Amino acid sequence: MNQSTADQLGVGAKLDGGKYWADIVALQVGDQQVELPVWIQPGLADGSVHVTMGYGREIASDRDHRETNLFDLDDYTDVYGKGAISSGVGSSVAGLVADGRIGTTTVSKTGSGYMVASTQDHGAIDAEHVGNEVRKRGLFRMATVEEYRADPEFVRGGEPAPLKENWEDYPTLWEQNHPKFSEEMMNSNYHDNQWGMVIDLNTCTGCNACVVACQAENNIQVVGKDEVARGREMHWLRMDRYFVSGEDGSFDDPLMVIQPMPCQHCENAPCEQVCPVAATVHSPDGTNQMIYNRCIGTRYCANNCPFKVRRFNFFNWTKTLPVSLHMASNPNVTVRSRGVMEKCSFCIQRIRSANKVANVEDRPIRDGEVVTACQSACPTHAITFGDLSDPESEVSRKRESDRRYELLAELNVKPRVSYLGRVRNPNPALA
């Protein structure tokens, strides 16, 4: 429900330590009643309550209970120990449906203290300053068609102040000894390709297909509600959501904008500079890689990442995953164990597969031959991946757009992921 409806009902949700503690309401339709937690979102119609079908299932498990010795605590982190992850999650609202719809409903508060886990506020800017900070950092840049026609390079107006000076006046201290200029890098066959990505915010609908595809392709595990509430979600690709207020500063009818956020694969990567064991390094073809058997889990890289796209694995998945999930895992990607950092790899397994084929056939990799999982799943083709060293590649052509910008470029981290600003053409009749 929206804030206005919540105020009328006297309900709400309180954010405390990364967790939302929500009030509980009872929905009454005839003789059917369901209790659900309250989740307040702008943009919904006054006097309406939105519910989601498909929850409240009970799925039994035939797995034997894990019995471990005193020193093996893996059963405490076995999220599949009591059946499927979806067992007993939420409440079923199917009983409220009659003739394919839910009619007039009586809503009343019955309790409070229901914990809701949401990743949108993990690592978020202080709520008092979020609007100004997002605007100052130029994270999401958009304009109307009229504004775009008047200023085709409107994204430049969103650049933070440091970029209004030439970075050549402030050279990177160790640029002359940068690893990318080393003989080992330059002589590698991989060096012929330099991989990059462009994400078009104009076509992204926020459907999260890329997130699910990345999870399936890279054996990213579901950690469960309690771990997500602690800020321990494992997604390598997240979907950031921002609300844009009206001209009067109100959120009665806000615009919602969506921004996919993978690892930016910075050329001047802050994570690489602080890893004490060189577990995160730069490849000759420009990807920021994780070497799991070197990682000792200091998490310095996560602290130093300005994009907050790194994840620490708290679980020993190699011992607790059910056999059915072992069979569903991608054999080309390692199933990580406890104590290592993880992040987006630009689907390096797909890149190396294309490398092998091209080497056998003694030819360069063709444009479009490497398709990342997120790119292949995107229904609107908002994600483009390819070789930046090829000026004719699709990703190179899109980087020439006047809508192109890089996130937090003022930090001089030189991201390999670029965004294309959003251009809106709203129908005035809809207002």
**What single letter denotes the amino acid at residue 288?**
N
Residue 70 has pLDDT above 80, yes or no: no
53 compared with 381, residue with greater pLDDT:
381
17 compared with 41, residue with greater pLDDT:
41
What is the tens place of the pLDDT at every residue in 269-315? 999 989 999 999 999 998 999 999 999 999 999 999 999 999 999 88
Residue 64 banded pLDDT, cuts 50, 70, 90: low
424/417 Cα distance (integer angstroms): 22
**Whether the Cβ atoms of residue 269 and residue 280 lie closer than 8 Å to each other:** yes
The CA-based angle 12-17-20, given to 5 degrees, is 25
Instruction: Pick the range with the lowest mean pLDDT from 88-92, 113-117, 372-376.
Output: 88-92
Integer-rounded Cα radius of gyration of the chain? 24
Closest CA to 194 of 331, 24, 364: 364
Tokens of 308: 């907050």
Q: Which domains does the chain have, with CATH numbers?
A: 3-116 (no CATH), 130-430 (3.30.70.20)
Q: What is the pLDDT of residue 399?
A: 95
Closest CA to 142 of 259, 237, 298, 286: 259
Residue 320 has pLDDT above 90, yes or no: no
Closest CA to 244 of 234, 228, 258, 231: 258
**What percent of the chain lies above the pLDDT cut of 90?**
46
Q: Other CB atoms closer than 10 Å to residue 298's CB: what's the count?
A: 15
Ordered DSSP codes for 115-132: EE--STTTTPPPTTTHHH
Q: What is the pLDDT of residue 177?
A: 67
Q: What is the pLDDT of residue 280?
A: 94
Residue 123 has pLDDT above 80, yes or no: no
98 compared with 111, residue with greater pLDDT:
111
99 compared with 339, residue with greater pLDDT:
339
Average pLDDT (36-56) is 87
Residue 370 banded pLDDT, cuts 50, 70, 90: very high
Taken as a whole, the chain contains a residue count of: 431
104/20 Cα distance (integer angstroms): 28
Residue 392 has pLDDT above 60, yes or no: yes
Residue 164 banded pLDDT, cuts 50, 70, 90: low
336 compared with 137, residue with greater pLDDT:
336
260 compared with 226, residue with greater pLDDT:
260
Q: What is the pLDDT of residue 309?
A: 93
Four-CA torsion 284, 234, 277, 175, nearest 10 degrees: 40
Residue 23 has pLDDT above 90, yes or no: yes
**Whether the Cβ atoms of residue 243 and residue 254 lie closer than 8 Å to each other:** yes
Average pLDDT (192-205) is 94
Closest CA to 338 of 359, 317, 367, 365: 317
Tokens of 313: 């694995």
Tokens of 292: 């799991």
Q: Locate tokens 């010795």: which residue?
A: 69
Q: Other CB atoms closer than 10 Å to residue 70's CB: what's the count?
A: 5
Query: For residue 296, which phi and psi values (nearest 5 degrees)?
Result: -115, 10
CA distances from 333 to 217, 281, 329 (A): 8, 18, 8
Q: What is the pLDDT of residue 344?
A: 95
The end-to-end CA distance of the chain, in Å, is 21
Residue 18 has pLDDT above 90, yes or no: no
**What percent of the chain lies above the pLDDT cut of 70?**
87
Q: What is the pLDDT of residue 288?
A: 93
- The helix or strand, by DSSP H or E, that contains position 317, with its residue range, turns out to be helix 317-320
**Whether the Cβ atoms of residue 180 and residue 269 lie closer than 8 Å to each other:** no
In the Cβ-directed half-sphere of 375, how many Cα atoms lie within 13 Å? 17
Please give the mean pLDDT across all residues of the chain.
Answer: 86
**What single letter denotes the amino acid at residue 42?**
P
> Counting Cβ atoms within 10 Å, is residue 13 exposed (0-12), middle (13-18) or buried (19+)?
buried
